[in-house]
């Protein structure tokens, strides 16, 4: 498996607090069956603004420690970008990192309300050659209230990455319910850990994978989400998305307007 969203890089955001902690987490990732991980520290303007040079230095140190510890997990650089109108400019200016130096970028938006100009920013990023990947859509209230909002973004060219922990209720019942709806309707293209510390995801992967299989019933699709599509990001290959025009779910869906 390949993880495209993690906060394992040490002392840069609200994730790992030391290189020793990062190594311990990576050992658990290897045991769980992950062969490659993209390190995606937060970039939030005026809050987490680590420069590419700082990130590069820490990634180099972590890679050396991984080699010394004989951990067989390949590391790549990235960011989880809190989206603003300046994001395209920051990417072009080299202040932000794409995922594994590809065209793909990982971004998040405010949790409690939809950005009024979200689609406009998406069009701008795509016109500049980037492929936006929305992190954990199931955690945003505008998608929880109406999951068809994600279909609208997919039509634009946005891709979606759900968190493993969402399916286990780690972020609450609304996120869990929404994640299951998105999975059943094949509206997500990636599954990732979004891990910040010990005991969150990698130690629970056996249970999580069984839960995913029970929800989806499509082993091929789960393999695409965990391995095939993440590998396409690393290789900078196109990902073609088929999506339904309307939701088809066994679960009762409530929309609020």
CATH of the domain at 171: 3.20.20.140
- 8-state DSSP, 99: G
Angle of helix 52-68 relative to helix 19-32, nearest 10 degrees, comes to 60
196 lies in which domain range? 2-234
Whether residue 144 lies inside any domain: the answer is: yes
Instruction: Look at residues 184, 124, 198, 173 and name the one whose alpha carbon lies nearest to residue 150.
Output: 184
| Angular region, 113: left φ>0, alpha ψ -120 to 50, beta rest | beta
Whether residue 64 lies inside any domain: the answer is: yes
pLDDT in tens, 175-184: 999 999 999 9
- Rounded Cα distance between 41 and 113, Å, is 23
Total number of domains constituting the chain? 1
pLDDT in tens, 189-224: 999 999 998 888 999 999 999 999 999 999 999 999
Whether residue 48 lies inside any domain: the answer is: yes
Alpha helices in 96-218 (DSSP H): 118-127, 141-145, 148-156, 173-184, 205-216
Planar angle of CA 152, 137, 155, nearest 5 degrees:
20
Whether residue 257 lies inside any domain: the answer is: no
pLDDT in tens, 18-61: 999 999 999 999 999 999 999 999 999 989 998 888 899 999 99
Whether residue 242 lies inside any domain: the answer is: no
pLDDT of residue 250: 47
Structure tokens at 198: 């010990």
Whether residue 6 lies inside any domain: the answer is: yes
The pTM (predicted TM-score) of the whole model is: 0.94
pLDDT in tens, 247-257: 875 444 443 32
Structure tokens at 236: 């900078």
pLDDT of residue 254: 40
pLDDT of residue 113: 92
pLDDT of residue 252: 41
Whether residue 239 lies inside any domain: the answer is: no
pLDDT of residue 242: 86
Whether residue 256 lies inside any domain: the answer is: no
The residues near 156 (Cβ < 8 Å, ≥ 6 apart) are 119, 122, 123, 126
């Amino acid at each position: 498996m390949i993880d495209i969203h993690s906060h394992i890089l040490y002392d840069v955001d609200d994730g790992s607090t030391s290189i020793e902690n990062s190594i311990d987490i990576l050992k658990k990732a290897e045991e769980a069956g992950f062969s490659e991980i993209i390190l995606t520290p937060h970039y939030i303007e005026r809050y987490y603004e680590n420069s590419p040079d700082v990130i590069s230095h820490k990634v180099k140190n972590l890679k050396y420690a991984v080699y010394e510890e004989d951990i067989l997990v390949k590391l790549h650089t990235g960011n989880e970008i809190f989206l603003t109108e300046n994001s395209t400019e920051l990417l072009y200016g080299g202040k932000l990192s794409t995922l594994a130096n590809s065209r793909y970028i990982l971004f998040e938006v405010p949790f409690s309300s939809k950005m009024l100009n979200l689609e406009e920013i998406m069009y701008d990023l795509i016109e500049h050659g980037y492929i936006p990947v929305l992190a954990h859509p199931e955690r945003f209230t505008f998608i929880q209230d109406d999951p068809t909002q994600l279909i609208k973004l997919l039509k634009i060219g946005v891709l979606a990455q759900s968190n493993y922990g969402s399916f286990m209720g780690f972020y609450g019942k609304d996120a869990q319910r929404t994640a299951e709806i998105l999975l059943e309707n094949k509206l997500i293209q990636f599954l990732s850990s979004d891990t910040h510390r010990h005991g969150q995801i990698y130690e629970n992967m056996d249970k999580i994978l069984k839960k995913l299989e029970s929800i989806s019933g499509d082993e091929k699709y789960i393999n695409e989400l965990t391995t095939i599509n993440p590998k396409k990001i690393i290789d900078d290959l196109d990902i073609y998305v088929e999506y339904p025009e309307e939701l088809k779910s066994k679960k009762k869906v409530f929309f609020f307007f």
